[in-house]
Amino acid sequence: MSFRVMMSLKRANLLLTKLSERWICLFFLVGELVRQRKNAKVRIKVEIKPFEVPEQEMSAKGVLEHTLKEILVVLKPISNDWLARYQVIDELRGVVGSLECLKGRSATVEPFGSFLTNLFTRRGDLDISIEINNGLLVPSSGKLQKLIVLRDLMRTMRERGGWDKFQFVPSARIPVLKVESNIRNITCDISVDNLRGQMKCKIVRWISEIDPRFRDLILLVIQHSVHSWKFPHYFAPYLNYIYIFSQTCQPPIFPPLEDIFPGNVSDYLTAVFLVFRSRIGLIAGLRTDAERQIAEICAENIFRFTSDRQRAVNQSSLSELYTSFFAKFSDMRSWASEFKISPHTGQWESRRRDSTWLRETSEIHIEDPLARTENSAGGVKIGQLIRISKAFESTRDSLMSANLNPSSILETLVQQHTLQLVKPRHTTSGKHNQPTQPHAADTYSQVQSQWRNMIFQRLLYGSTKQELNVPTSHGQDSKCEDHDLRDNTCYEELRMK
């Protein structure tokens, strides 16, 4: 091969190499441009979609899901609601500390009920127990002593002022003093030595942390019950309705309560029972020992349930669960006389298996899952059953309607004052504002975390000196006022942010 031919081949090879390098660079450049363009499109979609969703493009299920979340934004308490209740508790502590009948005795003011379980709404009441001889396993106060304390408390509260609408109920199984505080008109139900009630609420609080949908369902069903049934705020029946529903839906959200806490709270809080059980390892003696034992049992079982990777996880949306709840309980008249609701076993049980249930006159009987031997969580008479069943049937039909729209949902599910607060969130242009409440949501998260830590601090170490520093949602210069609740919450400001 001649020298000239060799040089020609070398030039051709060099030219091909340069061309290939340019093509490779061009290929990667084009690929990068395409990738950036795709990412730009994705970013545009992400930025536009949350702001507005045309109503005509939303399915009936989407409309219901959106509206339920709008309702929850209005129902869920924010920082001012927590602060107001702590102010009421502090004020009541001052009154209790001045009672003549409790001089020389150790007494504490302990909140429980929906407040302790974090299942209360902005308008929810406040359950309070005055614990005498705090530290003993079971307080020694008899019913007469409780009546004396409540009467002295009522007299002192009237003298000091700041409280209205007194209603003393001495004939109840647990005597109660109902009173309204001048702090945002919060209604208080005050009892004495209601340690069992406090412990039950703590267990419910721990269980509700398993799935946040449980709390949402409770708030929505209570709102519906007050609107449709016209019943007072009886907390236990609603709680057990939704708990048994959460256990029997497929797949179940919660396990049977016997898998969380197999015993009776009353037994664990009875000194005789603790002394008897001390031989097999149960700590006997003080109240904190029993509470720690219950907490350890619940914590271990809840962790076992939530960490089980083999269990099927319920992925239903809030609207699907809400509709299924009314569908399941709408035919309660057909089975109420034959079965009782048992959250302890997670199923409906025949009332004929136990003669004690046959003597009950209630059409629906709900077993107390944490005090089964007491046979008293809540009963529903025939007149109430008919009203509840009709309300459930009507709501079920409304929620399954093909012509579902936000206005019809709100009129079916919420009270008038809640309706007025939710309606402004729907614009007249046929579009929905997203149910976002950033500052209130952040505040709630902080409050929830601090409150949970305070509960466990109180539970494990017996400290009553823990104070909760609740952050506020608004600055001092805020001019917006929620006249209905007499606080400084600005709903419009929260919605626009």
What pLDDT is attached to residue 332? Answer: 76
What pLDDT is attached to residue 467? Answer: 42
What pLDDT is attached to residue 10? Answer: 56
- The model's pTM is 0.70
Contacts 24+ apart (CB under 8 A), 329-337: 329/241, 329/245, 329/392, 330/389, 330/392, 330/393, 330/395, 330/396, 331/389, 332/364, 332/385, 332/388, 332/389, 332/392, 333/385, 333/386, 333/389, 336/363, 336/364, 336/380, 336/385, 337/363
What pLDDT is attached to residue 249? Answer: 87
* Nearest by Cα to 458 from 78, 91, 135: 135
Residue type present at position 395: T
What pLDDT is attached to residue 13? Answer: 58
What pLDDT is attached to residue 217? Answer: 92
pLDDT tens for the 497 residues of the chain, in order: 555 555 555 565 555 455 455 544 544 454 555 455 545 443 333 332 333 434 444 577 788 899 999 999 999 999 899 999 999 999 999 999 999 888 878 888 999 988 998 989 888 899 999 988 655 555 556 888 899 999 999 999 999 999 999 999 998 888 999 999 999 999 999 999 888 888 888 888 999 989 999 999 999 988 887 766 555 445 566 677 788 888 888 899 999 988 998 877 777 776 444 454 444 444 444 677 778 888 899 999 999 999 999 999 999 999 999 999 988 888 777 777 777 778 888 887 777 666 555 555 556 677 776 666 554 445 566 677 777 788 888 888 888 887 788 888 888 887 766 777 776 555 433 445 544 443 444 444 555 555 445 544 544 444 333 444 443 443 333 333 343 444 444 433 333 33
Please name the residue that has the structure tokens 């019950």. Answer: 225
Computed on alpha carbons and rounded to an integer, the radius of gyration of the chain in Å comes to 30
Residue type present at position 133: N
Classify residue 98 by burial, with Cβ atoms within 10 Å: 0-12, 13-18, 19+. middle
Contact 247, 346 (CB under 8 A): yes
Contact 208, 117 (CB under 8 A): yes
- The token pair that represents 488 in the structure block: 């400084």
- How many CB atoms sit inside 10 A of residue 435's CB? 18
Identify the helix (H) or strand (E) that includes residue 168: strand 163-169
One DSSP character per residue, 262-312 reads -S-HHHHT-HHHHHHHGGGT---SBHHHHHHHHHHHHHHHHHHHHT-TTSP
